[in-house]
Amino acid sequence: MKHVDEFRDPELTKGLARAIAQASTKPARFMELCGTHTMAIARHGLSRMLPPTVEMVSGPGCPVCVTATEEIDRAVKLARTPGVTVATFGDLVRVPGSHSSLAKERAAGSRVKVIYSALDALELALADPKAQVVFLGIGFETTAPTVAAAVLMAKQKGVANFSVLAAHKLLPPALAALLSGPDLGLNGFLCPGHVTTVIGTAPYEDVAKVHGLACVVSGFEPADVLGAVLMLVKQVEEGRAAVEIQYARGVSPQGNPQARALMEQVFTPVDAPWRGLGWIPMSGLGFNPAFAEFDARARFDLEVPPAADHPGCRCGDVLRGLVRPPQCKLFGQVCTPESPLGPCMVSMEGTCAAWYKYRRD
């Protein structure tokens, strides 16, 4: 398969693993900032190819996992609203809120539709003018421009029965919050290829210059990840901290100004709650006044009581790389992919789910 096989060539990947082992003399701890990296590392068994000196930890990079419980409660409230169809990415359906989930609401008769893009949700609204279709907008800078495009199209077409519950997250403020918190003992970041295609590399410059941490933007195939880890290891060994791009076939340092412009046309940064990290200033997206009519929060009563997370759930600490999943008492005992208590176990890209699925040993 073109564009896949060349990055899964066992000779290439084994060669990279050997090069990492040869280059690495000092202990080094790197955080991956993207759920797709977490999955790729687990699915291909890459951690077992790394020398004992190199440790990978997962950060707050899974969009479902960082979605605050109160946002799920709001989605549940929406699903219970007569006449509303909730359109959502599949991963979100099983995430438990304080008292229910979209899956339970669907079983009880609510209209919850799994779709693959915001434009699918807009088409649902066009096809069923009597339903109020609400799209649950989650995800980072990679998905937000596509949601902005759907909102823009809805405005152009005058679609009155389409709105978005915006719960998007922005990566740079979260990175800043992570670095201002307790010392995580990190030497660098495996930076997300997809998000960086949009935001460019500028947001990482301070991480390297001010905090002295290596940053390498990585693709998602096994050879990409191993290649990026090798670049991180070399920086640590050489005592450097710089922003480098491994994923040159997908990322340019400038990112994608058009996608950012689209996002900025429709949305504006607002303070946002993150699961595990709390409220982070200017880390979410609200609607610009010109598009306020598409804001589900304005259209429906979405007040919810303060959310209650499961006591004992350590998803917050897992998301900050403070503990590994097996260190949570709930992990694999009462919290499993079949009956997840925290979001890190629900999402396919969640650290706990990946650990449970591929690394229980």
Q: Which residues of the shown chain bind another protein in the complex (CB under 8 A)? A: 1, 4, 8-10, 13-14, 17, 42-49, 94, 222-223, 336-338, 348, 356-361
User: Shortest distance, CB of residue 253 to another protein, whole angstroms?
Assistant: 28
Instruction: Phi first, then psi: give them for residue 134, nearest 5 degrees.
Output: -115, 125
Q: Which is nearer to another protein, 300 or 358 (CB)?
A: 358
Cβ at position 245, least distance to another protein in Å: 22
CB of 75 to another protein, least distance (A): 18
Q: Which CB atom, from 13 or from 58, has the smaller least distance to another protein?
A: 13
* Shortest Å, Cβ 213 to another protein: 26
At its nearest, how many Å lie between another protein and the CB of residue 183? 30
CB nearer to another protein: give 89 or 274. Answer: 89
Q: Do you know the residue count of the chain?
A: 361
Q: Residue 14 CB: number of other CB atoms within 10 A?
A: 12
Residue (247 or 267) nearer to another protein, CB: 247
Output the CA–CA distances (angstroms, integers) from residue 104 to 154, 290, 296, 326, in the order listed.
Answer: 30, 35, 21, 28
- The residue among 222 and 276 lying less far from another protein, judged by its C-beta, is 222
State how far the Cα of 351 lies from the Cα of 324, in Å rounded to an integer.
9
| Residue 53, C-beta contacts closer than 8 angstroms, at least 6 positions apart | 24, 25, 26, 27, 28
Q: Report the C-alpha dihedral over residues 221, 184, 175, 191, rounded to 10 degrees.
A: -20
| Residue 112 neighbours by CB under 8 Å, 6+ apart | 79, 85, 86, 88, 93, 102, 103, 105, 106
Comparing CA positions, the residue from 122, 150, 160, 167 lying closest to residue 266 is 150
For residue 47, the minimal CB distance to another protein (Å) is 8
122 vs 354, which CB is nearer to another protein? Answer: 354
Q: Which amino acid is at 337?
A: P
